[in-house]
Amino acid sequence: MCGIVGYTGPRQAYPVILKGLKRLEYRGYDSSGVALLNGGLHVYKKKGKVADLEETLVGKNMEGHIGIGHTRWATHGEPNDRNAHPHLSQSGRIAMIHNGIIENYAQIKQDLIAKGYTFKSDTDTEVLLNFIDDIRIKNECPLEEAVRIALRRVVGAYCILVIDNEDPETIIAARKGSPLVIGIGKGEHFLASDASPIIEYTKEVVYVNDYEIAIVRPDELILKNLGNEKQTPFITKLDMDLTAIEKGGYDHFMLKEIFEQPHTIYDCLRGRLDAENGNITMSGIQKYAEQIINANRIIIIACGTSWHAGLVAEYVIEELCRIPVEVEYASEFRYRNPIIHKGDVIIAISQSGETADTLVAIEKAKEQGAIILGIVNAVGSSIARASHAGAYTHAGPEIGVASTKAFTAQLAVLTMAALTLGLQKGTLERDKYLLLCKELAAIPEKVDVILKLDSQIKALAEKYKDAADALFLGRGYNFPVALEGALKLKEISYIHAEGYPAAEMKHGPIALVTEQLPVVFVATKDSYHEKVVSNMQEIKARKGKVIAVITEGDTVTPTLADDIIVIPPAHEVVAPMLSVVPLQLLAYHVGVAKGYDVDKPRNLAKSVTVE
C-alpha cells in the first residue's frame, strides 16, 4: 500500500526520495509524487510507475535539501495525476503525503466547503491537509500545533508527512495505524513507511508509535504525543543489510524469496531448535506457556497467506497440544462481537506486522482480556509491538508481493511452539516430540532438494499456462496448502483458482471438471493419502487433468496423474513446509510465462494498511 519517504539534511533530497520510492514499489501502488522545498514548494506527481514520474522530471531543477515522496495505492478517487500525492494546501503553503484512510473526511470536507474551500482531488488526504491549514490560519499557530489539533479530531488511520514553505528544515510527521520509521543520520533524518529506503544510510531508527507526532529537523528529532507531551525516542538498530532488499541476480524478488527458503527456515529454527538434544527455546512463548496450556481455546487471527499458516497451525496445535483452535479472518473477527473470555489466547500471524485488520482485531481482543501472541516477520512492526509476547519468524524482508518465505517461516515457528507446548502439557510423548524435532530440523535440506525441480516445474507451467481455471485439492495438513497454492496462482497469474478439501470437491466443485481443467492434488504420503488417491480417481473418471505433488517412493499415484512433482518424504506435521514449495514455483512460472509482473501483481499491495 502507499509508501512514504521524507528527507531533511545536507544531501540533495530528490535522489534519496526517488531511490526510496523505488525501494517501496513492492508495496503496490498506482501513482507517485514528490514535493521539494527550494525557494518555494515544488510538487510533481504522475500516474503509473515511479519510473514514469522520474522521466517527466528529467531536465528539471530538482534541487533542495528537504522533501517528501509518495507512492499511492488508490482508496478515495481513481489513480490519476490529480489524486496522486503530495497535495498542496489551498493557501499554497503546505504540502502533505498520507498513508491510510480518514473516515470522517466527508463531514470535514463539507465544513471546509462551507468556508469557501475548493478541492482539486477526490482524496481524503487533501481534506485533512486543508483542515490542518485552516486550523493553522485560524489559530495563527505553528504548523505542529495545527497538526496536533487536527489529528485529535480525525477518525481513521494515517501516517502523514507535512512540509511548510515557510520552514525550510522541518518535516512534521505523525502516525496512527500506519507505519512510520525515522532513520537517524549524522545531521540528517530519513523518514519512511518501512526501513527499506533507510537501510543504506543508517541502521539507527526510531519506530514512531500511534498518536505520536515527530518534529524532524536535520539535527533534531522531537517526539510528542497528541497531548503535546514530549516522548523519549526509542532508538533501535536495524538487523538487516542492503542485500536483503535487492534481487541478487534473480529475475524477480518472488523467485529469490522462494529460493531463500532453505536459509530462512534454517534461520528461523537456529538458536531455538536443538534437535539432537530435544530442546526448543522460545522465550516469548515460554513466558505465557502456563496460560496457553491451560487455555480453553486458542483463536488464530490473520489474513491471506498468514491465515493459511494459521489453518495449518490449527491441525498441528490440536494434534500435539489437544487445545481447541479457531482460525479467524481478522477482518471478520473484528467486526462481529467476538466472544472472548479473559485468559483466551490469541495468536496473530502477520508477515508485515502492519495489516490493519489484524492490528485492530488484536486491539479488540486485548480490550477483552485476551493474551496476544504475535508471530510476525517485520521486526519492530505495529503487530509485534501490540502483542504481549510472541516470536519473530526471521525470514528477512519479503519484497515480492506474493508471500512465500514468510509462510514457511510462520509454519516453522508455529510448529516449534506446538511441539514445546505439547511436551509441557503432556499431550505429546517425548519420543514423538524427539522425532518431530528431527523432522523439523531436516526441512531446510529437503526444501533445497525441491528447489532443484525448478526447471521441471517451469515446463509444467508452460504446459498449463493457458488454463482458464484451476482446482487445488488436499486433505488434512495439506488442505491449507491447497488453499495457499490456489491463492498463489490466482494472484500471480490471474488464473481463476480455487482450493478445497479434496473430499469436499464432490459437494460442488466437481461440476467444474472437464478435460480442460487442471486439478492440482497435494497428495504426499500421510494418514489421508489413500483417501486423496480415491478423490484423484474421481477426477480422472471425469477426464480432468491431474497434477500431483507426491512423495518419493509412491508408486500408485503416478499411474493416475497426468503430471507428477516428486518431493522428499516428511512427517505429515511438517510436510506443508515442503509441499507448498512446488506450488509457489508453479505459480511463479505460470505468471512469468504469461508475461506478468509477478513482483507487483495488479491491484495488490504488500502491506495492507487499510481495512
- Are the CB atoms for 210 and 185 separated by under 8 Å? no
Q: Which residues of the shown chain bind ligand F6R in the complex (CB under 6 A)?
A: 303-306, 350-352, 355, 358, 402-403, 487, 491, 608
Angle between helices 430-441 and 443-451 in degrees, nearest 10: 40
Provide Rg for the chain, Cα atoms: 25
C-beta of 36 vs 313, nearer to ligand F6R = 313
C-beta of 157 vs 608, nearer to ligand F6R = 608
Give DSSP secondary structure letters for 516-548: T-EEEEE--SSTTHHHHHHHHHHHHHTTPEEEE
- The rounded distance, in Å, linking the Cα atoms of 583 and 593 is 15
Minimum Å distance from CB 487 to ligand F6R?
6
Question: Any catalytic annotation for residue 2?
Answer: yes
User: Of all residues in this chain, which one has the CB nearest to ligand F6R in the complex?
Assistant: 304
Nearest to 549 by CA among 469, 470, 478: 478
C-beta of 14 vs 588, nearer to ligand F6R = 588
C-beta of 198 vs 383, nearer to ligand F6R = 383
Minimum Å distance from CB 231 to ligand F6R?
27
Q: Which residues contact 510 (CB under 8 A, 6 or more apart)?
A: 538, 539, 542
Minimum Å distance from CB 461 to ligand F6R?
18
Minimum Å distance from CB 207 to ligand F6R?
16
Question: Any catalytic annotation for residue 115?
Answer: no
C-beta of 287 vs 594, nearer to ligand F6R = 594
Nearest to 501 by CA among 485, 515, 480: 480
How far out from the chain centre does Cα 25 lie? 14
3-state secondary structure of 163: strand
Minimum Å distance from CB 355 to ligand F6R?
3
**Residue type for position 361:** A
Beta strands in 226-271 (DSSP E): 230-231, 235-237
Minimum Å distance from CB 293 to ligand F6R?
26
End-to-end Cα distance, the chain: 11
Minimum Å distance from CB 19 to ligand F6R?
24
Angle between helices 124-139 and 143-153 in degrees, nearest 10: 120
C-beta of 148 vs 490, nearer to ligand F6R = 490
C-beta of 517 vs 608, nearer to ligand F6R = 608
- Report strand pairing: 3-8 vs 66-72: antiparallel
- Report strand pairing: 298-302 vs 345-350: parallel
- Are the CB atoms for 521 and 473 separated by under 8 Å? yes
- The rounded distance, in Å, linking the Cα atoms of 366 and 433 is 32
Q: Of 2, 268, 321, 437, which residue is the catalytic one? A: 2
Active site amino acids: 2, 606
